[in-house]
A and B are shown apart, each in its own frame.
Chain A
Amino acid sequence: MAASVRLLVRRVTRLSHGHVTVCPSGPSGPSGRCCWAPSSCRCFSDDRNTHFGFETVPEAEKAKRVYKVFENVAQNYDVMNDAMSLGIHRLWKDTLLHVMNPQPGARLLDVAGGTGDIAFRFLEYIRSQRERQRRHVARSMQALSWKDISDVYAAREGGEDGPRESRAVVCDINKEMLKVGKQKADSMDMSAGLSWVVGDAEELPFDDEQFDIYTVAFGIRNVTHIDQALQEALRVLKPGGRFMCLEFSKVRDPVLARLYDTYSFKIIPVLGEVIAGDWKSYQYLVESIRRFPDQEEFKRMIEDTGFYCVRYHNLTGGVVALHSGYKL
């Protein structure tokens, strides 16, 4: 057991240095069957095979299996997030919102948004911005004459309700996740300005140039063709729109990497089994993290799609990276 874990960790650290080289596995690791393709490039498009965690599967099958995974975890998704990340995922999502700094009137598309965390935070942020603006206007109105104030009231009643309302659309391929999200929204009484749409990230059911901000938080690694998802993002964004992606990424520091790997492969699947009763899904989760390209490569992919001013911030030492690009 110790030997196979050591093998796994060594393999994982080699992977974490950005190479997608694969090597034959030893006898059964905790994941059961690990079929490695002999060379890395065969894992992707040519043979219509792709990776599902550390397995290789036909592309057509990957989407189905991902769907099954999230169907299984939907009910306990938020609880598991808190347990696995020790609540730090809230900070990551808050950081995403702070970096985004949305202006009132912005329209958000949250893809693979599932339970709606980003969309809720977005609406809260916009609401508090609006409050601040209103307070600012009220303060500046304090020295006005009666006539000016009544003019302002007349304008406000006659015209539209202030500037455009912000809207958030949560899009997910998985109906179960959306259902959980809708329930959360209803219980938190935050349904105003939210829409829930079923859609595939590789083929979004929206017209061109509809949204100001496109976010995908911890979802893009589950997509079969990441470049197609990026193309779709470029399509639905308005000119000047922003693409933001929060995703697990490679940890640079070797000490932290070791700790992280041990935690990922030994503790998370156990938590999954104990809390959600599903070892395999969380095994898939940590493996899919390892198969995702690292920060620089993902940045290159985003630039290749046609985004400008692409930057990334490392959060928690590289465990999570926030990539951002603009459609200019």
Chain B
Amino acid sequence: MAALLRGLRAGRALRGLGGAVAAPTATNPKCSSLRRGFHCAALRLQDESKPYKPPTSSSTTYHEHYQAHSTEQDTTAASQGGAAADPAEEEASRPNTSYQDQSGEQGEEYETEEQLQARILAAALEFVPQHGWSMEAIAAGAETLGLSSASTGMFYNGAGDLVLHFIAQCNSQLTEILAEQHKHVQLGQAEPKKTADFLRDAVETRLRMYIPYIETWPQAMSILLLPHNIPDSLKHLSTLVDDIWFYAGDRSTDMNWYTKRAALTGIYNTTELVMVQDSSPDFQDTWNFLDNRIQDVVNMATTAKQAQATGEAVVQGLMGAAVTLKNLTGMNQRR
């Protein structure tokens, strides 16, 4: 319980920081030619989703567009992805078209540089268990694609780029899974889950994606905490939490929106920390911890409601007692 409160406080503090940072970057729809790069792609990915607005009724289309865009970024069949992409998106991602026309063939079947970088990072993930989250892994990934290891110089953020790419990929996978489940429920093929169960399943699914890299995950977490990576990692985290709550059916428009997300952020972060040092079979301890934390939140919500109801009942009782007293002393009579 104390751990949860600490996590909540930390989560709220981090979210406050993220809110201050995310607002200016959300107004960056296009990138100048000098900023063509994966960071640009990551920013655009975030702009597609809605980082801090409470979800509206049109948010379904936003989410599908976000998924379509991010899955397109992450597929290895880049040429197909390029053809299937939104034409407006292609234009936006190639701001400097003049030189490409002049130089004739574009080298990678009209693939943009961001798509190539995404492919290199996807290939580099295989080498992470061996080399850790580092430039060596990216160099090894580039080599499997037939590119020289010198192309790793394109990634100014180095290991940070790799980790952020992986996180974005996990988030988009989770969104796909949640959307699938949502569709099944809508079609009546499955029962809607209770909120607590839904949250537990969503967080468990998301954390299971780390299992192949769990040995090196502490290194990745430390990379995400580097100051120049904090804005991006917070953006990913907030999008994740927002998506989970959206698919859990949250349509609140008041203070609850913030408290729910803060609670889930705290749960997610603390469970992740438990997971990296968990040695039980199939991370059973971690899932138990997760169950307990979600139960705590549910209990707190129930307790809060009960306290409010009790408070109202008590107030009404007092009012009744006061009126009775007035009657008894005869002050209530009208002369």
Residues of B128-148 at the interface with A, using a CB-CB cut-off of 8 Å, are: 135-136, 139, 142, 145-148
Do A241 and B153 have beta carbons less than 8 Å apart?
A: no
Q: A105-B149, A106-B148 are in contact. Are A326 and B136 (CB under 8 A)?
A: no
| A309 surroundings in chain B (CB, below 8 A) | 36-37, 113, 154
How many angstroms from the CA of A309 to the CA of B37 in the assembled complex?
8
Do B151 and A241 have beta carbons less than 8 Å apart?
A: yes
Do B149 and A103 have beta carbons less than 8 Å apart?
A: yes
Contacts from A to B (Cβ < 8 Å) = 99-103, 105-106, 133, 212-213, 237-242, 300, 303-306, 308-309, 311, 324, 326-328
13 A–B pairs (Cβ distance < 8 Å), ordered by A: A100-B153, A212-B149, A213-B148, A237-B148, A238-B148, A239-B148, A241-B150, A303-B99, A303-B103, A326-B153, A326-B154, A327-B107, A328-B147
The one of B34, B99, B135, B146 in contact with A239, judged by C-beta atoms closer than 8 angstroms, is B146
Do B107 and A101 have beta carbons less than 8 Å apart?
A: no
Encoded as 1 (CB less than 8 Å from any A CB) or 0, chain B from 25 to 37 comes to 0000000001011
| A103 surroundings in chain B (CB, below 8 A) | 135-136, 139, 149-150, 152
Do A212 and B148 have beta carbons less than 8 Å apart?
A: yes
How many angstroms from the CA of A237 to the CA of B149 in the assembled complex?
12
Which residue on chain A has the smallest CB distance to residue B151? A240
Encoded as 1 (CB less than 8 Å from any A CB) or 0, chain B from 278 to 294 comes to 00000000000000000
| A239 surroundings in chain B (CB, below 8 A) | 107, 146-148
The one of B36, B113, B135, B146 in contact with A101, judged by C-beta atoms closer than 8 angstroms, is B135
The one of A99, A300, A303, A304 in contact with B153, judged by C-beta atoms closer than 8 angstroms, is A99
| B149 surroundings in chain A (CB, below 8 A) | 102-103, 105-106, 212, 240
Q: B333 within 8 Å of A by Cβ? A: no
B102 nearest CB across to chain A (Å): 6
B94 nearest CB across to chain A (Å): 11
How many angstroms from the CA of A19 to the CA of B43 in the assembled complex?
37
Contacts between chains A and B (CB distance < 8 A), count: 75
The one of B37, B142, B147, B150 in contact with A102, judged by C-beta atoms closer than 8 angstroms, is B150
Contacts from B to A (Cβ < 8 Å) = 34, 36-37, 99, 102-104, 107-108, 113, 116, 135-136, 139, 142, 145-154
Q: A103-B135, A103-B136, A240-B146 are in contact. Are A326 and B151 (CB under 8 A)?
A: yes
Do A133 and B136 have beta carbons less than 8 Å apart?
A: yes
A227 nearest CB across to chain B (Å): 12
Which residue on chain B has the smallest CB distance to residue A214? B150
| B153 surroundings in chain A (CB, below 8 A) | 99-101, 242, 324, 326
The one of B34, B108, B135, B139 in contact with A328, judged by C-beta atoms closer than 8 angstroms, is B108
Do A304 and B102 have beta carbons less than 8 Å apart?
A: yes
| B103 surroundings in chain A (CB, below 8 A) | 303-306
How many angstroms from the CA of A271 to the CA of B147 in the assembled complex?
46
B141 nearest CB across to chain A (Å): 11
B233 nearest CB across to chain A (Å): 23
Do B152 and A308 have beta carbons less than 8 Å apart?
A: no
Enumerate the 9 nearest inter-chain pairs by beta-carbon distance, A residue then B residue, closest first. A240-B147, A240-B151, A242-B150, A240-B148, A103-B149, A212-B148, A238-B148, A103-B139, A303-B99
How many angstroms from the CA of A146 to the CA of B151 in the assembled complex?
38
Do B147 and A304 have beta carbons less than 8 Å apart?
A: no
